Amino acid sequence: MASRRYRIGEDPDYVPIGRRLLMLNWTLVMLIAALAGIGFAMLYSAANGSFEPWAERQMMRFAVGAALMIVIAVTDIRVWLKLAYFSYFVALILLIGVEIKGDIGMGAQRWINLGFFQLQPSELMKISLVLALARYFHGLTVEETGRIPLLVPPLLMVLAPAALVLRQPDLGTALLLIAGGGVIFWLAGVRVWKFALILGAALAIIPIGWQFLRDYQKNRVLTFLNPENDPLGAGYHITQSKIALGSGGLFGKGYMLGSQSHLNFLPEKQTDFIFTMLGEEFGLVGGLALLLLYTMVIMYGYVIALRCRNQFGRLVAIGITSTFFLYVFINIAMVMGLIPVVGVPLPLVSYGGTVMMTILVSFGLLMSVSIHRDIRISRQGNDDGRQ
């Protein structure tokens, strides 16, 4: 196919909106809608057969978020490249704002009250950090990626928001930011020995870091190691979660018939422990079906990354998909007792406004990468031609 060159502004209809909509990965859109639909059903069940207070609000948020996802998807990817650093600094300022004057809920200071909406800036930072790191490494050559001084700025870009989030305190989100950033570092070409050096340093300071953890965070780690030690106290959540998962058996007790959740033995059934409720009502088969949907979404994300011809889009797709994978893995491993409870929701299924919007915005960016996968972008962020 002959090469076609164009400039933004010279021909604003170089890819008509109708064509961009046709280029959307509609299979991925349907998978996202299916996951959200499961979430609506489980929230309806969690409220004992009522759309209030969770399902109705979640459905409204999904409708708004889905529309925003489509708008983001059909927007030129170079727009997001140019806005990458700006979005990062806005999210960082909002995190500082939470530190100065944020709303406290459930013992944590994580939200900013906008009147009509409770904004959680740490969720916005997950997207902004991916964009900023992708923009930074897009501007480096392979040789420059190996220079330690050039790795200091992106390292600070990860550690600064992670430290602010840890102070809220929100250990789960802080770990997600660090892990997601680490994936981008690795795939951008940073050598393995540098990761080993950082990991060694992290292990060495664990005894020091332990002193800075809140009491409830220490209890979560100790409870993970021995949940039966305090089954009615610190170990209550995970103990009830295991009971509910085990009682579901192969096919579950039936929709809205879970005893642990509907008799209020299961805590936070609409957020962090919603997978446990699903497992109790639909059993192992239901849980595996949900995991299959998640696996398909994650596979689509990595395929989009592999097909992208520019470094920025490739890193954005990998960062978004890896963060989504970490969401799923940490939540499900947490409710099964495989890792300590860290308060990470199940994406698209758990109740939560900012989390829902964040996930849908990130998928909009992922689909933007897919639509504009053939655009070549120079390291300076300019158009370099399109095949």
pTM for this one?
Answer: 0.86
Output the CA torsion sign for 219, 221, 226, 232: positive
Q: In what order do the strands lie in the sheet with 103-105?
A: 103-105, 108-113, 118-119
pLDDT at 197: 72
**In the prediction, which pLDDT does 382 show?**
59
Report d(CA 41, CA 323) in Å as an integer: 25
Query: pLDDT at position 344, please?
Result: 85
- Using CB atoms within 10 A of its CB, is residue 383 exposed (0-12), middle (13-18) or buried (19+)? middle
Q: What is the pLDDT of residue 160?
A: 92
Residue 65's pLDDT is what? 94
Task: Locate 92 and state its tokens.
Answer: 């960082």
In this prediction, residue 318 carries a pLDDT of 94
Kindly state the greatest CA–CA separation across the chain. 70
CB 355 within 8 A of CB 57: no
The pLDDT of residue 63: 95
Place of tokens 């170079």: 78
Which residues, listed in sequence order, are joined to residue 331 by a DSSP beta bridge? none
Quote the pLDDT of residue 283.
93
Q: Residue 127's pLDDT is what?
A: 94
What is the rounded CA–CA span in Å between residue 298 and residue 306?
Answer: 13
Q: What is the pLDDT of residue 377?
A: 82
* Residues of the chain scoring pLDDT < 50: 1-13, 385-387
Cα–Cα distance for residue pair 40/183, rounded to 1 Å: 31
